[in-house]
Structure 1
Amino acid sequence: MNGFKAVIKPTPVLRGDIQALSSKNYTTRYLLIGALADGTSTIYYPAHSEDSDAMRRCIRDLGATLTEDETKLVINGFGAHPGKVKELDVGNAGAVLRFLMSIAALCPEEVTFVNRYPESLGKRPHHDLIDSLRQMGVEVADRDGRLPITIGGGKPKGGHITVSGNVSSQFLSSLLFMTPLLEEDSEITVLHDLKSKVIVGQTLEVLEQAGIRVEAAEDYMHFRIPGRQRYLPKDYIVQGDYPGSAAILAAAAVTSSDVTVRRLAEKSRQGERAVVDVLKAMGVPLTHTNDSVHVTGNGKLRGGEFDGDHFTDGVLAMVAASVFAEGTTRFYNVENLRYKECDRITDFVHELNKAGANVEERQSEIIVHGKPEGVKGGVEINAHYDHRVIMALSVVGLRSEQGLIINDAHHVAKSYPGFFRHMLDLGAHIELI
């Protein structure tokens, strides 16, 4: 997809019925455990996004074979023995990089992860995982924790491993994927605080589905992983994606709407399932039954206080909805938003205020003073190459007086290539230039 701008025009009414996109988090995890199995696994309804496509590309390079049709992807895995590869290109996909840094340690020779996005993923730190890999005897060459990163292949050793959970839960997930394949048993202790615990729950869920045994403490701060395990080739069905759907639901909440989003499992382990509860708490008329969320929005919302750590990837969409709520809304415990594709607190708040909203930031909070009458808009917005910022600002544009122009809107494809198509299907007035 070539670069384009999205011109979001005032849209009072949204109506329609869509299927949620498939979950990016589950797709990348199923691709990985399919590759780590000896034999053939089938993934139904895999997501297509820059992240999941990066995982497809990299596991192919490491020796898996993939065939795909409209509804499913069949993987023949490499098991515990990824092949020789000099370089891996994860694009701008942080989770894919972090998961594969551990797997690369199982390669017969060293592997370099290249730096294709110096302004985005290239700025993100990976010290915490590098420290853990070094404890396991893995040689790592890096630029102060940043890409390009070279992992020395060979024989990582299990045993007692510590990992910091302060910046991201992806470092822990990475170790949980790799350690079952080692000769030795491993114990992992998480230091400091663990961010996005709920996403670790997704990792443990897919490991269990693949026949892997992990003993986890209730607070996810300590794990025991027996070595010499094997991933079983299995069939997996990818559920609908709450983080992407959060923006669609927010758009329905701030307009006069009759919108149904299907394939959103009521009993999902995705933390962003909480966006449904957040919207309910804000007084949005909605129902969630038979894995479908049905919103009959009237544009009226009321402010509240929400712990954003439970639904990290849904926070920006909920902030966008709360721009139009009565009173003040506070999202707290969200500092890890600063360490994403951009600083999702400072950068996002700056663009919201430019559009006419009244939003403040703290180190780990976003505070929104609602404007039920709407915002002025009429400005060009910098999306900071961030898919979640693009989607959230699109929601704000719908209730702006003069619309919004979002630059570099093609970066929405990182997680949700069909986002603008779905918005247009629901009746949003959007022009792509």
Structure 2
Amino acid sequence: MTIVDVPGSKSITARALFLAAAAEGTTTLVRPLLSDDTEGFAEGLLALGYRVERRPDRWLVQGSPTGPAAREARVYCRDGATTARFLPALAAAGRGDFRFDASAQMRRRPVAPLTRALRGLGVEVRHLEAEGHHPLGITADGIEGGELTLDAGESSQYLTALLMLGPLTRQGLRITVTRLVSAPYVEITLAMMRAFGVEVERRDSPEGEVFDVPPGGYRATTYAIEPDASTASYFFAAAALMGHEVTVAGLGRGALQGDLRFVEVLERMGARVRVTDEATTVAGTGTLDGLTVNMRDVSDTMPTLAALAPFASGPVRIEDVANTRVKECDRLEACAENLRRMGVPVRTGPDWIEIDPAAPGPAEIATHGDHRMVMSFAVASLRTPGVTFDDPGCVRKTFPGFHEAFAALREQWQGLAARR
């Protein structure tokens, strides 16, 4: 059995940084993810006037329930979607003039549902170049609160940003959501808000799901970041592919992240899965079955399955993943492009991809600057010598040490094979 040390969750670290900044007092974040995205988020908080002390295994954040201390700030969000969508909402709760910009990659990604919602709450938001995209200008004077309707069918991050903003408004928020994708990420948000002292009420209505967020702010706490389930998916997939066993500690039955459900997909394909209170283990059986699977709620693991799919005994069809087209790149088409480069038959539609069994050949993977393209096709490289990447370093976004960790796993398994 191989025990893999997976770094902290990007999604949880970003939410924890927002909540810590919004809380009264000093919050300690234990084992946060150290990556380009989370460092960018922390730098954004510093630019807004928050105090963030970064130690090797914990970060200390001095919060303020009245919004940023700065009255004027320029924030560069790098490639981080959570940074680019959460920090403008946090700034809107304060008072001052704030500018937000991002990388060319992030500038292409939409923020319109969030900025429309903020405008509906009376916040002065300006798109400084392309409407619906970064860069943004925000003139803030606090937020009264009230009711709004949100379409979160493109990204759940818009809903998360507004939910976390709610306790910082004077009256609270009532959010009616007409469409929602990646619902497990909203469950993460609600559970973490609860840990920081805020309980959100939710109910169904004819118009959609309603979230009632009370005013009153957050309280500081000590919060431990669990390992990243999306990152764990590459190691679980590797075990299923190579007939080995991998355990990730810290991801068990109580884990917040819905992406841990990826192991259920592997189990349907024939892998053995064991989930305890403390850990999850996946063991390959030497065979992988084809399947049809809806991955709407775990779409960040769609590329992992796509890269694994050619090694199955039958076709693999992944459905309801239209939202993957507006991630760091069009992930659905990027997966298809790279599989075709490897000689794998692939078909795609607006929200689906179907992959036939094949013997993939060597190819240079076009990463499109997307960390998930690299980490997913690293799994395929275990059975396909000669796979290279045009930008292997883009893994720094979420897992700077990925290549070293994956190489160590490969070497360990090669050593086991040599001794047999």
The offset of 1:212, in angstroms, is 1.2
Letter of the structure 2 residue corresponding to residue 223 of structure 1: F
With over 3 angstroms needed to count, the CA separation of the structure-2 counterparts of 1:286 and 1:179, relative to structure 1, is: closer
Among 52, 56, 67, which residue is 2:42 paired with? 56
The offset of 1:272, in angstroms, is 0.6
SS across alignment from 2:256: coil
Tell me, yes or no, if structure 1 residue 179 matches structure 2 residue 172.
no
The equivalences for 1:212-291 within 5 A come to: 212-217=198-203, 221-227=209-215, 229-291=216-278
The equivalences for 1:8-19 within 5 A come to: 16-19=2-5
With over 3 angstroms needed to count, the CA separation of the structure-2 counterparts of 1:256 and 1:360, relative to structure 1, is: same
Q: Return the alpha-carbon distance in structure 2 between the equivalents of residues 262 and 422 of structure 1.
A: 15
Aligned partners of 1:17 and 1:426 also within 8 Å:
no
The offset of 1:286, in angstroms, is 3.5
Letter of the structure 2 residue corresponding to residue 383 of structure 1: T
Q: Single out whichever of 276-285 and 209-218 deviates more from structure 2.
A: 209-218
Q: Return the alpha-carbon distance in structure 2 between the equivalents of residues 81 and 98 of structure 1.
A: 16
- Please name the residue that 2:409 is paired with: 426
SS across alignment from 2:410: coil
Any idea what the Cα deviations from partners look like across 1:143-173, whole Å, max 9, x if unmatched?
2111111111113231111111121111111
Among 22, 26, 35, which residue is 1:36 paired with? 22
SS across alignment from 1:240: coil
Q: Single out whichever of 324-333 and 356-365 deviates more from structure 2.
A: 356-365
Letter of the structure 2 residue corresponding to residue 249 of structure 1: F
Q: Return the alpha-carbon distance in structure 1 between the equivalents of residues 3 and 158 of structure 2.
A: 37
SS across alignment from 1:100: helix
SS across alignment from 2:375: helix
Any idea what the Cα deviations from partners look like across 1:391-419, whole Å, max 9, x if unmatched?
1111112212x421111111111111121
Aligned partners of 2:27 and 2:60 also within 8 Å:
yes
SS across alignment from 1:426: helix
Q: Single out whichever of 248-257 and 214-223 deviates more from structure 2.
A: 214-223
Q: Single out whichever of 241-250 and 75-84 deviates more from structure 2.
A: 75-84
SS across alignment from 1:153: strand
The offset of 1:428, in angstroms, is 5.0
The offset of 1:218, in angstroms, is 5.6
- Which structure would you say has the larger RCO, counting Cα contacts within 8 Å and 6 or more residues apart? 1
Aligned partners of 2:252 and 2:280 also within 8 Å:
no
Aligned partners of 1:49 and 1:414 also within 8 Å:
yes
Q: Percent of aligned positions with the same letter in both sequences? A: 29
Aligned partners of 2:197 and 2:218 also within 8 Å:
yes
- Please name the residue that 1:390 is paired with: 374
The equivalences for 1:117-132 within 5 A come to: 117-118=103-104, 120-132=105-117
Q: Return the alpha-carbon distance in structure 2 between the equivalents of residues 396 and 406 of structure 1.
A: 12
Among 93, 118, 138, which residue is 2:123 paired with? 138
Among 349, 352, 355, which residue is 2:339 paired with? 352
Q: Return the alpha-carbon distance in structure 2 between the equivalents of residues 102 and 354 of structure 1.
A: 41
The equivalences for 1:139-178 within 5 A come to: 139-142=124-127, 143-178=130-165
Aligned partners of 2:67 and 2:91 also within 8 Å:
no
- Please name the residue that 2:176 is paired with: 189
Aligned partners of 2:109 and 2:326 also within 8 Å:
yes
Q: Return the alpha-carbon distance in structure 1 between the equivalents of residues 307 and 397 of structure 2.
A: 20
Aligned partners of 2:67 and 2:90 also within 8 Å:
no
With over 3 angstroms needed to count, the CA separation of the structure-2 counterparts of 1:185 and 1:22, relative to structure 1, is: closer
Letter of the structure 2 residue corresponding to residue 38 of structure 1: E
Q: Return the alpha-carbon distance in structure 1 between the equivalents of residues 272 and 386 of structure 2.
A: 25
The equivalences for 1:357-396 within 5 A come to: 357-371=344-358, 374-377=359-362, 379-396=363-380
Tell me, yes or no, if structure 1 residue 410 matches structure 2 residue 396.
no
With over 3 angstroms needed to count, the CA separation of the structure-2 counterparts of 1:299 and 1:50, relative to structure 1, is: farther
Q: Higher helix share goes to which structure?
A: 2
The offset of 1:25, in angstroms, is 0.8
SS across alignment from 1:146: coil
Aligned partners of 2:294 and 2:319 also within 8 Å:
yes
Point out where structure 2 has 5 or more consecutive residues left out of the alignment: 413-420
Point out where structure 1 has 5 or more consecutive residues left out of the alignment: 1-14
Output the TM-score relative to the length of structure 1.
0.90
Letter of the structure 2 residue corresponding to residue 315 of structure 1: M
Aligned partners of 1:380 and 1:406 also within 8 Å:
yes
Among 301, 307, 316, which residue is 1:329 paired with? 316
